[in-house]
Amino acid sequence: MARRGKKRGRPVSGWVVLDKPVGMGSTEAVSKIKWLFQAEKAGHAGTLDPLASGMLPIALGEATKTVPYVQDGAKVYRFTVAWGEERSTDDLEGPVTNSSGQRPDEAEVRALLPKYTGVIMQTPPQFSAIKIAGERAYDLARDGETVDIPAREIEIGRLDLVEHGGDRSVFEVECGKGTYVRSLARDMGRDLGCFGHIAELRRVEVEPFTAEDFVTVAELEAARFGGKTDEGQDEAGAPIDFSAIDALLVDTAVALDCLPQVAVSDDAATKIRLGNPVIIRGRDAPVEADEACATARGKLVAIGAIEQGMFKPKRVFAG
């Protein structure tokens, strides 16, 4: 009996800037999006906890090659800290580990903000994906172990107090890669002498994407199905038209807005995709760049270096 070949997905590429709902894990979200698009490949650019909502950029196809650039981008979170309790997970999920009847006033909270702005040292939560001796910290924490997680340097561009109501404060933070907002809540609570944990957390921006790029699961499902079955064919047996859902994708090249852009001809694009360097022409073309992005007719061709007026491809993209 012949073995059935593994069903391959579509060679679709681009970014889905998902507005992830509370309760859905990041891996679950990627699987859902991959299935909706019937994509060959998918991955996300930065985990978002199940209890958090908001922006989860998911790369499909060739866009997976640009994930590191989005992971390194600045992120903006809106979050609520509940004062008076510290929890094992630093959010609502874990049991209370410390409590206090003290509550900070608005002036005390505002006075604390400069301490958490700029380049600071931060210790990740016990329940985090940090690896300790080859094991995830959250696995050790679930087994009842208290692990020594070393503090690390992070950068916070701004931390604003949006609203203060006695038992709770609402903040907005713009931060760099590796920042744990749960740790911010924990550490601020300790500094204020009242303890604290995250009660609500929403990621509203991941550079270079903005809220205008958001799309929900419901919107994707409506675009994907609309009178069609979920088996790859409509009720008459004809192939499903993916044009409506594909129209919700953000172009792969948007993730590389942070790099110098070099426009090349079709002939040069062909050479680059074969791994060959090409001479960069044009009065405004950069002479040197450790990383740059080559495009042809507005379409992404490759990421590479520019040395002595030549573009040398490092990672190419299908045409």
Is 275:291 a contact under the CB 8 Å cutoff? Answer: no
Strands 278-279 and 261-263: unpaired
Angle between helices 217-224 and 26-37 (to 10 degrees): 20
- Residue 288's SS3 state is coil
- Letter for the amino acid at 306? I
Q: How far is CA 292 from CA 58, 250, 315, in A?
A: 23, 20, 11
Is 97:88 a contact under the CB 8 Å cutoff? Answer: yes
- Residue 261's SS3 state is strand
d(CA 259, CA 277): 18
Residues 54-65: b if buried by 16+ CB within 10 A, e if exposed: bbbbbbbbbbbb
For the question of residue 160 being annotated catalytic, the response is: no
Catalytic residue selected from 49, 90, 91, 213 = 49
Q: How far is CA 308 from CA 27, 280, 288, in A?
A: 43, 9, 6
∠ CA(48), CA(53), CA(56), 5° rounding? 50
d(CA 262, CA 104): 53
Residue 84 phi/psi, 5-degree rounding, is 110, -15
Report the catalytic residues.
Answer: 49
